[in-house]
Structure 1
Amino acid sequence: MYCRNEVGFYDQVDFSNSSRANFYGNTTFSRSPVFSNGIELGSKDVLGDGWNPKGGRNAVVWWNQVGSGSVKYWMEQKSDRRLKENITDTAVKALDKINRLRMVAFDFIENKKHEEIGLIAQEAETIVPRIVSRDPENPDGYLHIDYTALVPYLIKAIQELNQKIEKMEKTIA
């Protein structure tokens, strides 16, 4: 495994069987890790089970080898009804939050890579704080956005839009 840029591991790190990395506790990658030559992944190797980056958001991260030397991953969050209590419909006004997020185009300073659309973490944090994270070892360091954490807000915003459309359709009919 070759990791380039800044990588921070917290608590115990165990590389077993020369093909799997088992992380215990909180594992933080300050930048995207780079994997090349020598990583062998099965169809579903668990990278993290019980990962809890923001309190209560346990997740499993799966890795899968794609071709030669490239890796794809996906993340699943625990959502089984048996793990939850006090279940109620949310009162979050997601459409308002989504509308307040300012989408921008920008160039990264480090590599001049242009991004056609994205968010500024400092701005997003004031609207939807749970999507922004800080390096626990360096609270004054760079902020990161977890775009997947926006998905529940997007689903709720679509539901709110659908309710508005249905109400307008009833008025027209």
Structure 2
Amino acid sequence: MKKYIILISAFVTIMITNQQLNAQIKVNSDGQIKILGDRETDDPNKDLSMQVFGKYGTYLTNGKIAVGDYGRVENSGANVFIGELGTNWDSDRLELHGKKGIYLTYEQGYNYGDIIGKWDIDQPDRFQFEVDVYAKGIKLNSDEKFKTNIKPLGKKLDVLKQLKGVSYKLKQEKIKLSPEEIEELSGKEQEDLALINSSTTDDRTRLGFLAQDVEALFPELVEEDKDGYKYVDYVGLIPVLVESVKEQQEQIDELLKLAEKKGLLNQEN
């Protein structure tokens, strides 16, 4: 009798659990998966394979999917997730969250050479790209309201004349495998390997400065990251160039005045 009671209890538990799951997760006849809700007005054209609703309000907003461990928000949890921005309002804004970093990668993922762009908590004041960035325009924060301890730059022409411009090419990192290792790859893997190696070829000649040269003359324009690589604030060179041009023009004006005084210039009638 005791065994029957245990079996009946287990059966009831399974039925209750299934009812709870069915209330939370629904697979429609067309294969769509709906989690935490299912409204006919959502996705009327059936574009989605899966839809994750949130638990807040009429609009079932702020659905989120965690990847890996999550933790409690009040205990600095919310580790890695993707979802709708906010906690209890219908923002219609995508949130991509990594508590200690956000990495955009390709191919093998976490290897440094496979990173397209990243933000890391080790250097929280920057988002770093490992590719060229193209944009219609870039505007930088330069309002006086955000600045303090403002001082004139002064004359920099003599220092600027010491800076050496160079032409260069970027080093290219490719995946190198032995013929034996390549033979062990499938045809698709070999095609992918060839594509990756061909896409890393950038033989363009570029113009610029060496960070070490700039640092020796304008240390304020060079930063070093935690891996020891140096970066140049090229935009910061613009005020140096402007002040140097003004200084050079002052020298030219003084020479013209001196030449005119000595009658070395043709006088117009």
Task: Settle same-fold status: TM greater than 0.5.
Answer: yes
Which residue matches 1:96? Answer: 158
Which residue matches 1:114? Answer: 204
Which residue matches 1:72? Answer: 136
**2:224 counterpart (111, 134, 137):** 134
- RMSD over aligned Cα atoms: 2.9
Bigger RCO (CA 8 Å, 6+ sep): 1
**1:9 counterpart (96, 119, 135):** 119
CA 128–85 in structure 1, closer or farther in 2 if over 3 Å, else same: closer
Which residue matches 1:151? Answer: 238
Which entry has the higher C-alpha Rg, 1 or 2?
A: 2
Relative to its length, the structure with more helix (as a share) is 2
2:231 paired with 1:167: no
Paired with 1:127 and 1:164, the residues of 2 have a C-alpha distance of 22
Which residue matches 2:181? Answer: none
Alpha-carbon shift at residue 149 of structure 1 (Å)? 1.0
CA 76–112 in structure 1, closer or farther in 2 if over 3 Å, else same: closer
Alpha-carbon shift at residue 158 of structure 1 (Å)? 0.5
Alpha-carbon shift at residue 124 of structure 1 (Å)? 1.1
**SS in structure 2 at match of 1:113:** coil
**2:130 counterpart (27, 31, 45):** 31
Q: Deviations over 1:75-121 (max 9, x none)?
A: 323233x5556655433x32122211111111211145333421111
Alpha-carbon shift at residue 26 of structure 1 (Å)? 1.3
Paired with 1:105 and 1:126, the residues of 2 have a C-alpha distance of 19
Paired with 1:168 and 1:9, the residues of 2 have a C-alpha distance of 52
TM-score (norm 2): 0.38
Relative to its length, the structure with more strand (as a share) is 1
Identity across the alignment (%): 22
Q: Deviations over 1:5-62 (max 9, x none)?
A: 2533245xxxxxxxxxxxxx5123052377xxxxxxxxxxxxxxxxxxxxxxxxxxxx
Aligned residues: 120
Q: Is the 8 A contact 2:153 2:240 kept in 1?
A: no
TM-score (norm 1): 0.57
Gaps of 5+ in 1: 12-24, 35-69
CA 98–114 in structure 1, closer or farther in 2 if over 3 Å, else same: farther
User: Which amino acid is the alignment partner of residue 109 of structure 1?
Assistant: K
